[in-house]
């Protein structure tokens, strides 16, 4: 199914990355006040090279091994048409009653005697196809994988693990254009919007990990690796949401993609919802910087820091 995604998608994903790479980084920098290069005089220019973003045909390893039941072959072939079928079903359902009313007219009956039953038959066939397509639960299968599947944030593990290792982690991002193309179709969101969402998410991992604070401190790679996945994904999702809000109309469809994707993703991709609702960006940032200094963190520890930051602010 991934191999059948229109090859055109690669160009769209590549161009969207090009167009939004700098804007996404600028907003991440403003939001986290972390820098991918420390002490560089021309910070912005060097930033581009610090974390490369590649667009690859890639099917993430975990998806490569995903097995679908043979009995689902037809469902899988229909699944990418789900959105179109749904739209057609809605369109036909609203067309049928007014057309039926035209049967009062003799001239209509003369010209279009068969059209009513034909439309009804089409609507029923579409409903059957939708039922078949839903059996494959492709989105469910894709997001049953606990890792990022639309893109990936990669880095090299340190040669000598230690708590404060801040070697060059060779941080980099890959966007999987095939998965982005397929998922955008299944969700009914634009390829551009989904690409910006994934770009922001993966770069947010990079900023929270190798971004340097005002004192040049980063998150040690060993500590980052040993941190709760739910906390790492929570932070990436939190900053994705903040960045997409800042981008607003500049990146049409990106917030839509984020919102429509959310319910399909594993729970660890929704850890941040309470932070968005109950805490200011300053509180989240304080807690993030503190947990980075402490080493490997857990969600419980982070949320404790959040409530501490909250009461400090209230008492001021």
Please, which residue, 177 or 238, has the CB nearer to Zn ion? 238
Minimum Å distance from CB 298 to Zn ion?
17
DSSP 56-95: E----HHHHT----GGGHHHHHHGGGHHHHHHHHHHHHHH
Minimum Å distance from CB 268 to Zn ion?
9
Contacts 24+ apart (CB under 8 A), 257-260: 257/184, 257/187, 257/189, 257/190, 257/193, 257/194, 257/196, 257/197, 258/197, 260/187, 260/188, 260/189
Please, which residue, 126 or 236, has the CB nearer to Zn ion? 236
Minimum Å distance from CB 153 to Zn ion?
6
Please, which residue, 60 or 253, has the CB nearer to Zn ion? 60
Q: Shortest CA distance to 236 belongs to which of 279, 192, 288?
A: 288
For residue 285, how far is the Cα from the chain centroid? 21
Q: Shortest CA distance to 203 belongs to which of 19, 20, 40, 45?
A: 20
Please, which residue, 5 or 236, has the CB nearer to Zn ion? 236
Minimum Å distance from CB 232 to Zn ion?
7
Q: Shortest CA distance to 47 belongs to which of 60, 33, 29, 20?
A: 29
Please, which residue, 45 or 147, has the CB nearer to Zn ion? 147
Q: What angle do CA 276, 258, 143 make, to 5 degrees?
A: 110
Residue nearest Zn ion by beta-carbon distance: 148
Q: Which residues contribute to the site for Zn ion (CB under 5 A)?
A: 148, 233, 236
Minimum Å distance from CB 200 to Zn ion?
11
Please, which residue, 20 or 269, has the CB nearer to Zn ion? 269
Is residue 289 within 8 Å of residue 216, measured between CB atoms?
no
DSSP 2-56: GGGS-THHHHHHHHHHHHHHHHHHHHHHHHH--BSSSS-TTHHHHHHHHSEEEEE
Please, which residue, 55 or 236, has the CB nearer to Zn ion? 236
Would you give the DSSP letter of residue 113? T
Minimum Å distance from CB 233 to Zn ion?
5
Minimum Å distance from CB 45 to Zn ion?
27
């Amino acid at each position: 199914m991934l191999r059948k995604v229109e090859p055109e998608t690669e160009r769209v994903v590549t161009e969207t990355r090009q167009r939004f790479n700098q804007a996404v980084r600028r907003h991440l920098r403003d939001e986290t006040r972390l820098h991918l290069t420390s002490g560089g005089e021309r910070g912005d220019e060097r930033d581009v090279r610090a974390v490369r973003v590649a667009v690859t045909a890639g099917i993430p390893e975990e998806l490569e091994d995903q097995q679908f039941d043979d009995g689902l072959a037809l469902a899988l072939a229909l699944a990418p048409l789900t959105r179109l079928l749904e739209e057609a079903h809605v369109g036909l359902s609203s067309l049928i009653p007014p057309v039926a009313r035209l049967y009062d007219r003799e001239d209509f009956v003369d010209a279009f005697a068969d059209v009513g039953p034909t439309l009804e038959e089409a609507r029923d066939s579409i409903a059957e196809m939708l039922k078949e397509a839903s059996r494959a639960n492709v989105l469910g299968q894709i997001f049953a994988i606990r890792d990022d599947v639309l893109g990936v944030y990669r880095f090299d593990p340190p040669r000598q693990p230690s708590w404060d290792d801040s070697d060059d982690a060779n941080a980099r991002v890959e966007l999987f254009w095939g998965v982005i193309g397929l998922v955008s179709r299944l969700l009914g969101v634009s390829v551009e919007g989904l690409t910006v969402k994934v770009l922001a998410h993966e770069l947010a991992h990079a900023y929270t990990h190798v971004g340097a604070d005002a004192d040049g401190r980063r998150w040690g790679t060993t500590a980052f690796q040993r941190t709760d996945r739910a906390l790492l994904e929570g932070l990436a999702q939190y900053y994705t949401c903040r960045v997409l809000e800042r981008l607003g109309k500049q990146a049409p469809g990106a917030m839509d993609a984020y919102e429509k994707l959310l319910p399909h993703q594993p729970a660890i991709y929704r850890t941040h919802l309470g932070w968005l609702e109950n805490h200011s960006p300053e509180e989240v940032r304080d807690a993030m910087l503190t947990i980075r200094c402490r080493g490997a963190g857990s969600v419980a520890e982070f949320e404790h820091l959040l409530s501490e930051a909250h009461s400090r602010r209230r008492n001021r």
